[in-house]
Amino acid sequence: MEEIKTKVLVIGSGPAGCTAGIYASRANLKPILLEGEQPGGQLTQTTDIENFPGYPDGVQGMQMMNELRDQAIRFGTEIKSRTIVKVDFSSRPFRCEDDRGDIYIAETVIICTGASAKYLGLPDETKYMGLGVSACATCDGFFYRNRNVAVVGGGDTACEEALYLSTLAKKVYMIVRKDYLRASNVMKKRVEERENIEILYRCNTVGLFGEEGVEGAHLVRDKGTDHEENLDISIDGFFLAIGHKPNTDVFKGFVELDDQGYIRTAAPCTSTNVPGVFAAGDCADPIYRQAVTSAGTGCRAAMDAERYLMDHNEF
* 157 closest CA partner among 179, 134, 182, 178: 182
* Axis crossing angle, helix 15-26 with helix 61-74, rounded to the nearest 10: 20
> Is the CB of residue 11 less than 8 Å from the CB of residue 34?
yes
- Residue 140 burial (CB count, 10 A): 23
> Is the CB of residue 306 less than 8 Å from the CB of residue 27?
yes
Per-residue model confidence (pLDDT) at position 315: 62
Per-residue model confidence (pLDDT) at position 139: 83
- The active-site residue, picked from 139, 159, 203, 299, is 139
- Residue 118 burial (CB count, 10 A): 15
Instruction: Tell me phi and psi for residue 72, to 5 degrees.
Output: -65, -45
Cα separation of 216 and 262, whole Å? 34
Cα separation of 88 and 252, whole Å? 10
Distance, first Cα to last Cα, the chain:
27
- Residue 190 burial (CB count, 10 A): 17
Which residues are CB-neighbours of 252 under 8 A, at least 6 positions away?
Answer: none
Q: Which amino acid is at 199?
A: I
CA 79 to chain centre: 21
Cα separation of 118 and 26, whole Å? 36
The three-class DSSP label of residue 279 is strand
Largest CA distance in the chain: 72
Per-residue pLDDT of the chain (315 residues; tens, 9 = 90+): 899 999 999 999 999 999 999 999 999 999 999 998 888 887 776 667 888 999 998 898 889 999 999 999 999 999 999 999 999 999 999 999 999 999 999 999 999 999 988 899 999 999 999 899 998 888 889 999 999 999 999 998 899 899 999 999 999 999 999 999 998 899 999 999 999 999 999 999 999 999 999 999 999 999 989 989 999 999 999 999 998 899 999 999 999 999 999 999 998 999 999 999 999 999 999 988 889 999 999 999 999 999 999 998 766
DSSP H helical segments within the chain, as ranges?
15-26, 61-74, 123-127, 137-140, 156-166, 185-193, 291-311
Per-residue model confidence (pLDDT) at position 46: 67
Per DSSP bridges, beta strands 216-221 and 229-234 are: antiparallel
Specify the DSSP element, H or E, that contains 6: strand 3-11
Please confirm, yes or no, whether 140 is among the known catalytic residues.
yes
- The active-site residue, picked from 18, 96, 136, 203, is 136
Per DSSP bridges, beta strands 59-60 and 115-117 are: unpaired
Count of residues making up the chain: 315
* Global confidence as pTM: 0.80
Cα separation of 262 and 71, whole Å? 28
Give the CB-side neighbour count of residue 142, counting CA atoms within 13 A: 8
The radius of gyration of the chain from alpha carbons, rounded to an integer in Å, stands at: 21
Please confirm, yes or no, whether 70 is among the known catalytic residues.
no
Per-residue model confidence (pLDDT) at position 58: 87
Please confirm, yes or no, whether 159 is among the known catalytic residues.
no
Which residues are CB-neighbours of 54 under 8 A, at least 6 positions away?
Answer: none
Instruction: Tell me phi and psi for residue 242, to 5 degrees.
Output: -110, 20
